[in-house]
Amino acid sequence: MKVRVGATTDIGQVREGNEDSYLVLEPLYAVADGMGGHRGGEVASSLALETVQGMFERQEGSLAEQVAEANRAVFDRSQNDRSVSGMGTTLTAAQIDGNRVHLVHVGDSRAYLMRGGELAQVTEDHTLVHRMVMEGEITAEEAETHPHRSILTRALGVDQTIQVDEGDIEVVPGDRLLLCTDGLTGMVPEGQIRGILLETVDPQEAVEKLIKVANRAGGIDNITAVILDFEDDGGPGATKESAIPQQPTMERPIPPAAPANRSDITIVGAPIPAPPPEAKASSSPRGGQTYRTERLTPEPGPQGGRPSSRHVGRKVGIWTGVTLAIVALGLLGLRLYLDSQWFVGVSNGRVAIFRGVPAEVGGFELHSVVVETSIPAERAESIGFYRGLPDGITADDRAGADAIVESIREDVARFEQSTP
């Protein structure tokens, strides 16, 4: 069985860093989604995959044993390095042996199998809302918008030992396997994922389309996808990829196209508007490119062609007023948006309710504390469900935030009662 591979990761539109990592080491492929803050998440996901990679290359243990060792590595680092205390990561891996794929899975990253035009999820989400669905407390539709949907019930690095899901899939030529983090599945419906996988033959082009669609939908999390296409032995050979866990890319999604003779540069940020056709062209010394510039010609004034100071002053005043009005409207829109956002996080070592979003821009925090509870954050974070508390657990509204706090309070009390 031949395998063609496509893989990529992206920071998304909101996060300040990329806590995802992926591994392409034929015949082993994996994705990991770190948690525990910008630094902690990056360390957790990369350390887990480095551990798996090292053991795989040394041929030590089964894939499940390698993942269990990765759990111990992340847990030990978290305990011994205060700068990454409380970190953890998901991990979904596939090892190919002929027409058999061995899957190992922890967390809420996913593996999907596309066969005969149908897409099926072949891993189980280790989340609080999935457990609630399985127990009949909520419906699958309610789970998609539930305020606890980001809370994991299982992740690497949370405890010294970890329960690992594993199983085998028999693949046939024409099958397509997708490994991805929740930055994709949280933004793109499965039906749309299926459509992209069906219409895009090349696996690398397919993963790039998936990332682009997730970013266009909001890109609120890091996004990683690995696609494995299975072909019979007479088909094209496997695509060669780096055997090192890929570090998060800092590229912005959907960048403007680079000039043809600058293919080594990735353009970052918003595209520059095209200049008006009447603008003059000036030659650039770099690579023979030409850039258009437009020189503003002052209107002739009453004194030998010089502009009138009164006329210039009036124009400056008008444009200053317009600029200030635009800025004021932008700030008003931002304030209205932030006032409608809620999350539960940590303030002064205690569980707190925040208004805004758990992020900062240019050193300015985009949130404020509304209620600081008496619940010690350390006790809440000691429960696997709430390891992501320092990063913020989002809620749909204030009532949803209150519900999260009450759940934390009840779980902390229950945990303390069960602890001897």
Q: Please tell me the predicted confidence (pLDDT) of residue 55.
A: 97
Q: Please tell me the predicted confidence (pLDDT) of residue 411.
A: 82
Q: Please tell me the predicted confidence (pLDDT) of residue 355.
A: 87
Q: Is the pTM of this model over 0.75?
A: no
Q: Please tell me the predicted confidence (pLDDT) of residue 234.
A: 62
Q: Please tell me the predicted confidence (pLDDT) of residue 385.
A: 65
Is there a cis peptide before residue 285, judged by omega within 30 degrees of 0? Answer: no
Q: Please tell me the predicted confidence (pLDDT) of residue 243.
A: 38
Q: Which residues of the chain have pLDDT under 70?
A: 38, 234-336, 338, 362, 385, 418-420
Q: Please tell me the predicted confidence (pLDDT) of residue 270.
A: 30
Q: Which two tokens stand for residue 57?
A: 């290359």
Strands of the 118-121 sheet, one edge to the other = 2-10, 223-231, 176-180, 110-115, 118-121
CA dihedral (321, 327, 331, 336) positive or negative: positive
